């Protein structure tokens, strides 16, 4: 029994060290999805999870229990952050390439708050992991994707490969069996978590066999605020007789 207790304490100690070691460039503690979930489940009266995205995004879906203080509101009136100064604040937005949570945290620091953390993975990863969310009436509203023909993708890859990233969102086994030459593999199940490798300055084209998984990846790209995205069907690529790499 003593050994079990010691092992548990040691594991807790290691987790605490890891938690404290990871910082943002501005010195804010970064919490993981699992750490934030544990904090939310603790129902601490001292905790304030703050959604720095727009009010519209918050109404569509947000982390259960989070409050909405959009960055543009906070920039105009820092008093909108009206939590007690001893509160533990955790800011989030739309993933690691979204700067709203970091900017909000800086404003909070300027107002005298000292216990400030960032959930850098943000709403897309939280949602992807299946953690508790509030989903508004428009959450499952179908979006119209921008479809692109395989022949156009082939021309882009041949003529301007540095301007485009083609992403195969199928699983690793399917990717290994045959994929678009030059494509990278980010399975849709972990697409938001793996999206940090994607350059927002490039056109991002997602594809799968028939469209279902790439549609979901496309929606995730929208929520991650990628400005230039498109969807392609791999079956059409094969039908057109275009090259496949194994």
Residue from 152, 177, 155, 166 nearest 217 by CA: 166
Question: Is the predicted pLDDT of residue 147 greater than 80, yes or no?
Answer: yes
Mean pLDDT of 178-183: 98
Question: Is the predicted pLDDT of residue 7 greater than 90, yes or no?
Answer: no
| Position 12 confidence tier, pLDDT thresholds 50, 70, 90 | very low
| Position 22 confidence tier, pLDDT thresholds 50, 70, 90 | confident
Lowest mean pLDDT among 5-9, 54-58, 187-191, 207-211: 5-9
Residue 76 DSSP SS3 = helix
The residues near 45 (Cβ < 8 Å, ≥ 6 apart) are: none
Question: Is the predicted pLDDT of residue 202 greater than 50, yes or no?
Answer: yes
Query: Which pLDDT does position 32 carry in this prediction?
Result: 97
Mean pLDDT of 8-13: 43
Shared fold status for 22-135 and 150-239:
yes
Question: Is the predicted pLDDT of residue 21 greater than 60, yes or no?
Answer: no
Residue from 152, 151, 160, 145 nearest 231 by CA: 145
Going by their DSSP bridges, the two strands 116-119 and 88-92 should be labelled as parallel
Residue 160, Cβ density class (10 Å: 0-12 exposed, 13-18 middle, ≥19 buried)? exposed
More confident residue, 154 or 4: 154
Mean pLDDT of 118-138: 96
| Percent of the chain at pLDDT exceeding 90 | 89
Query: Which pLDDT does position 43 carry in this prediction?
Result: 92
Query: Domain residues of the chain, as ranges?
Result: 22-135, 150-239
Question: Is the predicted pLDDT of residue 96 greater than 50, yes or no?
Answer: yes
| CATH fold for domain 22-135 | Oxidized Rhodanese; domain 1 (3.40.250)
Mean pLDDT of 3-14: 43
Q: What is the CATH code of the structural domain delimited by 150-239?
A: 3.40.250.10
| Position 19 confidence tier, pLDDT thresholds 50, 70, 90 | very low
Question: Is the predicted pLDDT of residue 224 greater than 90, yes or no?
Answer: yes
φ/ψ of 218, rounded to 5, equals -60, -45
Question: Is the predicted pLDDT of residue 6 greater than 70, yes or no?
Answer: no
| Percent of the chain at pLDDT exceeding 70 | 91
Question: Is the predicted pLDDT of residue 17 greater than 80, yes or no?
Answer: no
Spatial contact of 192 and 224, defined as CB atoms under 8 Å apart: yes
What pLDDT, in 10s, does the model give residues 29-70? Answer: 999 999 999 999 999 999 999 999 999 999 999 999 999 999
Question: Is the predicted pLDDT of residue 100 greater than 90, yes or no?
Answer: yes
**Angle CA 209–211–217, to nearest 5:** 105
State the chain's mean pLDDT as an integer.
92
């Amino acid at each position: 029994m003593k050994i079990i207790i010691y092992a548990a304490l040691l594991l807790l100690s290691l987790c605490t060290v890891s938690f404290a070691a990871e910082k943002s460039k501005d010195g804010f503690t970064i919490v993981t999805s699992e750490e934030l979930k544990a904090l939310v489940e603790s129902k601490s009266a001292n905790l304030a999870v703050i959604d720095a995205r727009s009010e519209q995004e918050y109404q569509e879906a947000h982390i259960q229990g989070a409050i909405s203080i959009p960055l543009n509101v906070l920039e105009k009136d820092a008093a909108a952050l009206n939590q007690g100064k001893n509160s533990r604040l955790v800011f989030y937005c739309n993933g690691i390439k979204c700067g709203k949570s970091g900017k909000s945290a800086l404003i909070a620091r300027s107002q005298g708050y000292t216990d400030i953390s960032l959930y850098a993975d943000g709403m897309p990863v939280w949602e992807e992991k299946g953690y508790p969310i509030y989903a508004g009436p428009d959450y499952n509203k179908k979006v119209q994707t921008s479809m692109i023909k395989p022949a156009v993708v082939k021309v882009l890859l041949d003529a301007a490969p540095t301007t485009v990233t083609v992403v195969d969102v199928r699983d690793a086994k399917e990717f290994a069996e045959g994929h678009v030459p030059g494509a990278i593999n980010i399975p849709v199940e972990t697409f938001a978590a793996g999206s940090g490798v994607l350059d927002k300055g490039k056109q991002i084209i997602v594809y799968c066999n028939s469209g279902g998984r790439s549609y979901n990846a496309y929606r995730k790209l929208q929520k991650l605020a990628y400005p230039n995205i498109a969807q392609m069907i791999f079956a059409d690529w094969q039908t057109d007789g275009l090259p496949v790499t194994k």
